[in-house]
Structure 1
Amino acid sequence: MSASFSLALQAAKEAAGQQQYPASTLYTVATPIGNLADITLRALHVLEMADAVACEDTRHTHSMLRAYGIGKSGAQLIAVHQHNEAEAAEQVIARLQQGQRIAYVSDAGTPGVSDPGARLAAAVARAGLRVSPLPGASSVTALVSAAGAVAADHASSGFAFIGFLPTKAQERQQAVAKLAEDARTLIVLEAPHRIADLAKALAVLGDRPVTLGRELTKQFEEIATLPAAGLSDWLAQDANRSKGEFAVLLHPQTVAQDGGDALRVLALLLAELPTKTAVKLAADITGAPRNSLYDAALQMKRNAHSGSDEEDSED
C-alpha cells in the first residue's frame, strides 16, 4: 500500500467515521473507472467497515481493496455479476437479514448504470431492506462534464444514456437510426474491439458533432470532438486510438421545423425528384434527421404504389 492511501484511509475514518451506517443495509459504492485516486473518503470507510463486499469480479475487487490497504477474506467477497445476479441476491439478502452491512461494487464506476447492480438493488428493496448509494466516478457523467454539449433550444436539453448498442450490424443500424431522431445529448459506451464498427455506423449522422472519450481518467486519456462522419478516419490515423474503453457522446441537434413541415416538404420534393435527392434537400431545408426522412420517403412510396413491397431502386 502506498503512503498516500494510508493517509486516505485515516482521512476517511476521520471524515466519515462519525456518520450513521445502518445495519441490514446494502451500500452501492462507486469505484474508480481507471484512476485509483478517484475513490471517495466515504467509499473507503464503508468498504473497510462492511461485513462483506458483493462484487462483479472477486479477483478484481480483491486487488483493488488490497491497493487501498483494505483486507477482506475470500469469505467476505460475494460474486454478483450479470450471469448470477438474481441467484446471488438471495445470499446477499440473507446476510442483510442477519444484520450485516454489505457493500456492492462493480468492476469500475457506479453500479447499476451500465454494470450489474440494478437487479440486486431491486431484489433488496423488494425484501423490505434498505439500499444506500455512495456516489462517485462514472464514465457517463465524466464525459458529459468535459464535452461542452450545449443545446440551442429547451426541447433538446438534458441527456440520455443509451449504453451499448446491439452487436449485430442490422440491429446496430436500426439503433443508430433511432439516435438520429433524438435531438438530445446521447451517451453510448463501446468496447475496443467494436469501436471501429460503431464509428462506421455513426457515419450516417454526418456533421453531427461527436465527442469520444478514450481511457477516461487513465494515463493515456484522450478526448476528441469531431463530426460523426469523420470518426473512422480519426481512429485510423493512430492504432492506439482503438485501444481502451470508450464513452461516446452525440451532441444535441436543433430541428429547425416540426415534423409536419418536414414531411410536407419531403412529399413535394418526392413528386419531382429521386428519393435520395429529395431526402437530402428536405433535410437541408427543414433540419430534420435524414434517416427519419428516408424512412418516411420509403413509406410514402409504398403508399403511393398501393401497398407494393418493391423497394426504391436507389436504396
Structure 2
Amino acid sequence: MHIEHPQKLEPVLYVVATPIGNLRDITLRALDVLAAADVVAAEDTRNTAHLLTHHGISAKRLMAVHQHNERSAAEKIIALLQAGQSVAFVSDAGTPAVSDPGALLVQAVLAAGLRVIPIPGANAAVTALSASGLAGPHFLFYGFLPNKSAARRTALQALSTHPYTLVFYEAPHRILECVADLCAVLGGNRQIVLAREITKLFETIHACRLSETEAWLLSDSNQQRGEFVVLVSGAEPQPGLPAETLNTLSLLLEELPLKQAVQLAAKISGANRSELYQNALRMKNPEQHDNPAHSADGE
C-alpha cells in the first residue's frame, strides 16, 4: 500500500508506466505521481481505478483518453495544464504510446509549448526480450502486425532481411495465423520465442524453431490464450550484399516478378545479378532454401 503524503506537482503532463499484469510491478515514483496529480487521464478509467485502490490511493478525478477520443481529449488536457493543473496519463498496461494511446496526446501537449515528463516502468516487449535468450545485440520493435494475412505477409517480407531480433505483439485469436505467416515468409529455421501472459499467473515463455511453433500451440489450446509478445531471431547476414541492397530487392519483389526485380535491383545497387538472383530465390522460397541440401538453379 502506498503511504507517501502527496506533494504538489508542477502543471505538467506525466506519462506514467503501469504494470503489465502483476499489480506490484509499479515504481515508487509512479505511485507518488498518481497520488499527487490533480487529474489522472486513463485509457480505461475502471482499470485505473482498480490500480489506484489496490495501492491505497484515494479517489482522483479520472478522465478517459483512448484511441477514439485522443485528439479531443488532448485539448481538454492542454486547458487543464494551462490552468495550473497537473495531469498523469496511463494506458491500460505498460508504457503509454508504445502500441497504445498516448503519442497524439504527447504531440499536442508539446506543440502547445507545455512540458511532458516520462515516468518509466514496465514494458511487455523489453520484459519478454530480457527472458528470451535471443542473443542478438540489436532488436526491432514492430508492435502489432496487420490483421489480414496478405497485408501481414507484405509487412513481414519488408522485414525479412533485417539482421535484428524482431519483436511483435499479437492477440490470442490471431496467434495461429500470425505464426503460419511468419513461417511462410521468414522460413522455418529461425528461432521464435512466444511470451504470453507475462507477469501473470499463467505466464509462459516458450522457445522453438518457427517450423515447430504451430504444432506446439495446437497441442494445448490453453497456450493460445492471453496477449502475446512474439520474438523472432534476425536474418543471417548474406555474404557479399549489404543490408540496404537486400532491402531494396525485398521491396522490389513485392511489386515485380522475380527476374524483373533482380534486374532493377542490379541497376540500382550495382550488385552482382547472380548474387541478387540467389537471394531473391531465398526470399521467395525461404522454406526450400533453409534446407542445406537444396540447390537452386541459376538464371
How would you bin the TM-score normalised by the shorter chain?
0.7 to 0.9
Q: What is the distance in 2 between the residues matched to 1:209 and 1:147?
A: 10
Query: What letter corresponds to residue 63 of structure 1 in structure 2?
Result: H
Task: Determine which of 145, 153, 169 is the counterpart of 1:189.
Answer: 169
* Matches for 1:1-315 after TM superposition, within 5 Å: 5=1, 9-10=2-3, 13=4, 22-73=9-60, 76-151=61-136, 157-204=137-184, 205=186, 206-259=188-241, 264-265=274-275, 267=277, 280=288
Q: Is the 8 A contact 1:149 1:252 kept in 2?
A: no
With over 3 angstroms needed to count, the CA separation of the structure-2 counterparts of 1:263 and 1:226, relative to structure 1, is farther
Q: What is the distance in 1 between the residues matched to 2:144 and 2:126?
A: 16
Q: Is the 8 A contact 1:202 1:229 kept in 2?
A: no
Q: What is the distance in 2 between the residues matched to 1:167 and 1:278?
A: 22
Query: What letter corresponds to residue 70 of structure 1 in structure 2?
Result: I
Equivalence for 2:259: none
Deviations 1:51-97 (A, max 9, x none): 00001011111121111111224xx1111101111110000010011
Q: Is the 8 A contact 2:9 2:37 kept in 1?
A: no
Report how many residues are paired: 267
Q: What is the distance in 1 between the residues matched to 2:199 and 2:110?
A: 33
Secondary structure of 1:36 counterpart: coil
With over 3 angstroms needed to count, the CA separation of the structure-2 counterparts of 1:138 and 1:263, relative to structure 1, is farther
TM-score by length of 1: 0.77
Secondary structure of 1:259 counterpart: coil
Query: Could you list the runs of 5+ residues in structure 1 that have no partner in the other structure?
Result: 152-156, 286-292, 302-315
Deviations 1:203-236 (A, max 9, x none): 1221110111000001110001111122111100
Instruction: Give the Å deviation of 1:181.
Output: 1.8
Q: Is the 8 A contact 1:183 1:253 kept in 2?
A: yes
Q: What is the distance in 2 between the residues matched to 1:82 and 1:245?
A: 19
Instruction: Give the Å deviation of 1:169.
Output: 1.5
Deviations 1:157-193 (A, max 9, x none): 4111101010111101111212222110111001111
The structure in which a higher percent of residues are helix is 1
Query: What letter corresponds to residue 34 of structure 1 in structure 2?
Result: G
Query: What letter corresponds to residue 185 of structure 1 in structure 2?
Result: T
Deviations 1:242-276 (A, max 9, x none): 00010011123321413377852464899xx9x98
- Measured on the aligned residues, the alpha-carbon RMSD in Å equals 3.1
Query: Could you list the runs of 5+ residues in structure 2 that have no partner in the other structure?
Result: 243-270
TM-score by length of 2: 0.81
Q: Which has the larger radius of gyration?
A: 1
